[in-house]
Structure 1
Amino acid sequence: MQKRVRAVLITPNDTMLLIKRVRPGIPVYWVTVGGKVEPADACPDDALRREVREEIAGEAEIVGLLHTIETEDERQDFYLARVEKWNFDDRTGPEFSQEGRGEYLLEEIPLTTSAVDAVNLLPRQFAAVLREAIALGELLT
């Protein structure tokens, strides 16, 4: 089973960082920062910190697990994390240099239900969970 980790990264401005994906032939969508847990990762937390360093050149403070989506062949753990500083220009993830992957654009999104509703956040199941957590005020603890 492939394991993935993802982070809802909350900034000092109480916004969240999402990656806007623009790929040829498909509608624009947004995702949270994250990726595969690699064999060299000691634990999921280490994998998530590595992904944050690779994708936005930031350091994440992991607050806790928000939600898990599991299928027959994949498990995705979504964490709440805080990030103080980042520099998208200094990202180092291998996906950024691969041909045909499209564009990766970092966006700071307000931490509101209307902002989540305004973007095509994938996976949709997690977008619904995130929307509910925002509505209940669970992300600004």
Structure 2
Amino acid sequence: MIERVRAVLVTTDGTMLVIRRTKPDVPEYWVLPGGGVEPSDESREAALHREIHEEIAGKADIVRLLHTMESDYERQLFYLARIATWSFEDGTGPEFSAEGRGEYALEEIPLTVEGLDGIDLKPEEIVHVLRGAISTGSLGGKATL
């Protein structure tokens, strides 16, 4: 089974980092930073740290596992994490140089239901999880995360 890790990266300003994906002939959508767990990764958390470093040249503090999605062929683990510094321009991930992968743009959105409603975040299941967590305050915020 393929395993992927993704991060809900909450900034010190209480925003969330997302990646806007633009591909030819595909409506624009957004994803959370992360990617595949490789055999050389010591743990899922190590894979997430590697992916965050590759994609946004950032270092995050993982708070907790937020949600797991599983199908017959793939497991995705979504972690809540804090991040203070990053540089999308310094990302080194292989996805940036792959032909036909389209464009990647890092954006900050408000960590609110309105912020989520303003983008087409994939997968849809994580949007429902985030809406619920925002509504109950379980994601924290600037002061409480």
d(CA) in 1 for partners of 2:134 and 2:104?
25
CA RMSD of aligned residues (A): 0.6
Deviation, structure 1 residue 113: 0.3
Deviation, structure 1 residue 37: 0.2
SS in 1 for 2:26: coil
d(CA) in 2 for partners of 1:24 and 1:89?
22
Question: Are 1:126 and 2:131 matched, yes or no?
Answer: no
How many residues of Structure 1 are paired with residues of Structure 2 in the alignment?
141
User: Which blocks of at least 5 consecutive residues in structure 1 are unaligned?
Assistant: none
SS in 1 for 2:114: helix
Question: Are 1:117 and 2:117 matched, yes or no?
Answer: yes
Deviation, structure 1 residue 48: 0.2
Structure-2 residue corresponding to 1:33: 33
The within-5 A match list for 1:1-141 is 1-140=1-140, 141=145
Per the normalisation by structure 1, the TM-score is: 0.98
d(CA) in 2 for partners of 1:27 and 1:136?
31
Residues 43-64 of structure 1 show CA distances to partners (whole Å, capped at 9, x for unaligned) of 0000000000000000010000
d(CA) in 1 for partners of 2:107 and 2:131?
17
Amino acid at match of 1:131: R
Deviation, structure 1 residue 19: 0.2
SS in 2 for 1:133: helix
Q: Which aligned segments of 4 or more residues in structure 1 are displaced greater than 3 angstroms? A: none
Deviation, structure 1 residue 22: 0.4
Amino acid at match of 1:6: R
d(CA) in 1 for partners of 2:89 and 2:115?
24
User: Which blocks of at least 5 consecutive residues in structure 2 are unaligned?
Assistant: none
Amino acid at match of 1:52: I
